[in-house]
Amino acid sequence: MAYFNEENTVEQMLINAAGKCGWIYVEPQEVPRLPDEVLVTEWLLTALKKFNDIKDDQAAQVIYRLRAACSIGNNQEELINANDRFRRLLFEENSYPFGKDGENINIRFFSDKPSENRCVVTNQWEFPRKSKEGGKRLDLVYIINGIPMVIGEAKTPVKSSVTWADGATDILHYQKSIPEMFVPNILTFASEGRELQYAGVGCPVDKWGPWFADEERRHGTLEDVEHNYISLITPERLLDIYRYYTVFTGTSGGRKIKIVCRYQQYLGGEAIVQRVLGTYRTGKGPRKGLVWHFQGSGKSWLMVFAAQKLRRQNDLKAPTVVIVDDRIDLEDQITGDFTRAEIPNVDGISSKEELETKIHQRKILITTIFKFGDLNDGEVIDDRDNIILLMDEAHRTQEGDLGKKMRTALPNAFFFGLTGTPINRNDHNTFACFGSEEDEYGYISKYTFQNSVDDGATLELNFKTVPVEMHLDEAKLQEEFDALTDQISEEDKQELVRRTSVEAFFTAEKRINDVCKYIVNHFREYVEPTGMKAQVVVYNRDCCVKYKKALDALLGTDDQTTIVMHTSGDKADEYKAYKRTRDEEKKLLDQFRDPLSPLKFVIVTSKLLTGFDAPILQCMYLDKPMKNHTLLQAICRTNRTYNENKKCGLIVDFVGVFEDVAKSLAFDEESVKTIIKNMDEIKALIPTFMQECIQFFPGIDRTIGGWEGLTAAQQCLKEEGVKTNFARHFARLAKAWEIISPDEFLAPYSNDYTWLAQVYQSVRPVSGGNLIWTLLGAKTIEIIHNNIDTIDIGTPLEDLVVDADIIDSVLEDEKKREKKIVEVEKMLKIRLGEHKGDPKFKKFADKLDELRERMEHNLISSIDFLKQLLQMARELLEAEKEIEQPMDKRAQARAALTDLFQSIKSEETPIIVEQVVNDIDNEVVNIIRQFNDAFQSVTARREIKKKLRSILWIKYQIKDNDVFEKAYSYIEMYY
């Protein structure tokens, strides 16, 4: 009968597949090496003489230097430094005095022609070979020109309890016991025939990542693994990763680590590099592209990798690579990444003057887009065609003057945008600026939110919606408001109410105090016990101060909270206490990142919502209305991976943003196609819109400037009706222009548009609303605050149902009835949202829609509507109890587990069955509670299996795979 194991399945498949991409298999005993030597000297000597004009003794000197670099004994702590040093010896410190008259020449270890390199794969490599103690046996070793550069571990594909992680763990053990074998290492990988995961030396198992050959992301079978493996293991790609897509950097604690690119960083970086090379070599093709990788997936390192490779391409003749950010804190972050990675020839640009001079340097330059805004209109600062710009967070600042000035200043440059935010349907600019017609969906590389969660690059995002209701004494409020506004028109009154209502709601101290009570209670119960920290996002700067005061009073100390805010424009010095230098702010945020620091909360309103990287941050208390990319970027501060206690990012939402987030995350390629199509349609309208505006100025010479030209234009708009009509036409043109800008299509119309915009601004009336707001806004907000009756925070549905006992009093008062309807309906929607996708609750959602429709068509009265809502709420709570039934299900699970462990108990292996079952029950429930739907989550299933394995295998030494599988199946069945 045929049987399967790791040697005859995964290991043999990997060896065979290696032969398809340039590797030659050699039996381990046929490799000509000394027992305790890492390098295959004979093959290395041949390669050195083949690629360099040197003699045997000179080649021996080179080999001696490499051999010495491998000699670190069992010093595993020194491994990463040695790995870095060895790489430098191959590519940077490879100069030897072997030239004419002792002149230094660079020694080449690899040929640019793949066929000239000797690429050997072997298996069951023993090291040290034939030692008295018995050497360690490595499954797969990949040797290029005598240097072992990749090590792989294969595991059996036919035992579900065995995974690639077991192979990764083996490799980490080898790095401790035989570290010298890993000194020349590019990367290591492991596979059980279902997944292919890889990492650099020193990387813990939970930081390994998958390699996928393409965005199709195939996995799950031997064939899929082979497909991805061939992509990764191709020798020229490995050398590419080694030289350009690897960096050594330092952690905040001062520890050195090796970073090998994630697959999406390689695909994105290569898409940029190959587009530049293809267009530059041929003089044809697009000079732009969009990389759309979700927040937290490593775009900063992608830029480091791409810049590093672009700078070293001889074909590009010493290019200038410019990293462009839209915020100073992001500029600092990127600069820090390049500096810590010791990337050569990096410089910053801090002013317009530096931009104009440094742009000519052949370096990597880092700046903000606002430096381009300081340039003069139409100013060209460099027309070279080997300048490449990489724009981080490209969705935010490319429209209008900034993007236009940048493209004018560098007319022949390449422009690549990197965005982490799925573009909202109303935001057209990113695809317009960077998307090329050659790119099917408008981007050259994509990595989605779900991709990043599945790969473990980021964590899932969980939402807890907490509705906040503010009840006012409306009669008194109306009386005071009428007295304040008795001298202004009804129209101005309405505008004043519109502009004050939102601010009044979010800035009311009574509301802030109640929200802060909720925050402190929630933080102490759910966040603080895990060792994590929180960010509080509030409406404005004044709220920052109010929230800190309220939180400090509740916490009993002021050292657990801090405020980080912009203090510019603070003419009254209200926020002087929070004005910090960049170094001071950096030190403060390092304290926040420090788990031993008492600082637990950082309170913000606009700062730290983008680019702020603090993995210890788990929970965001969101009390500020936000939309689109700003909202998505903000909430993604919480989903960085940290440690085993952090299972997800948590958003406690006092505003109700969940639907906005869900819609944004659901953005797809078809939507992108629609946007690109819409862009073309809008572009076609620009000439007509422009001509219709110009027709308001017959006979006017638009080349005449100064007061004479402006006066002549204004004379054409003397009549109020004509002026209003012109304003309407120009507003339409301006909207279309904003969507298309800075597309080069607009260049022929630019002068006319600027002229029209200036005329429009000159005749635009001073807004009465602005004047009224300045005079009466603060007083109106004060009146609202003074007339708050109560604040209701997160009234549970259960309480609303109980409240039905006193419903009679509500039914008699129409206003109270309407409030109660809104309250119950809102809570029903929130509760049903938690069960989205569960067919058991679809009938409730349908019924709610039906009731609302009947109410709107006057088929039922508001009294009946409210009664039926309350009845529905009772039924919903009953349905929830039925599906939860925690004790019933848990009792069944415990019974099944008890039977299982009783069946394996024997005199030889005595175990306390009740104790084993208790441990599994408690630990599993703890994990399940952290996820909305644990068994639909890759992360949760992995955590449950990991915990179960540690209980059975490590704590109780029950290492029977069948028992493990049965136990897990009971968990999935009953919990």
DSSP conformation letters of 484-534: HTTTS-HHHHHHHHHHHHHHHHHH-HHHHHHHHHHHHHHIIIIIGGGT-EE
Tokens of 734: 């301006």
Cα separation, 417 vs 403, in Å, equals: 11
pLDDT value for 473 = 60
Tell me the residue length of the chain: 975
Reference 519, options 539, 500, 499, 534; nearest CA is 534
Cβ count within 10 A of residue 191: 31
Beta bridge partners of 469: 792
**φ and ψ at residue 854, rounded to 5 degrees:** -65, -40
Angle at which helices 235-244 and 299-311 cross, to 10°: 100
Residues 378-411, buried b or exposed e (16+ Cβ, 10 A)?
Answer: eeebbeebbbbbbbbbbbbbbbeebbbbbbbbbe
**What is the model's pTM?**
0.73
Q: Which of 831, 920, 912 is nearest to 875 (CA)?
A: 831
The segments of the chain whose pLDDT lies below 50 read 1-3, 395-400, 424-428, 675, 766-769, 804-806, 884-887
**Where would I find the H helices in 327-460?**
328-340, 352-358, 370-373, 400-409, 429-434, 449-454
Would you say 37 and 190 are in contact if contact means Cβ atoms under 8 Å apart?
no
Amino acid 193: pLDDT: 87
Q: CA distances (Å), 466 to each of 469, 502, 601, in order?
A: 10, 18, 19
DSSP character at residue 953:
I
Q: What is the pLDDT of residue 885?
A: 46
Beta carbons within 8 Å of 922's beta carbon, 6+ residues apart? none
| 550 Cβ neighbours under 8 A, 6+ residues apart | 509, 512, 513, 516
Instruction: List alpha helices for 7-55, DSSP H.
Output: 12-18, 41-51
**What secondary structure letter does DSSP report for 320?**
E
- Quote the CA–CA distance of 738 and 401 in Å, as a whole number: 10
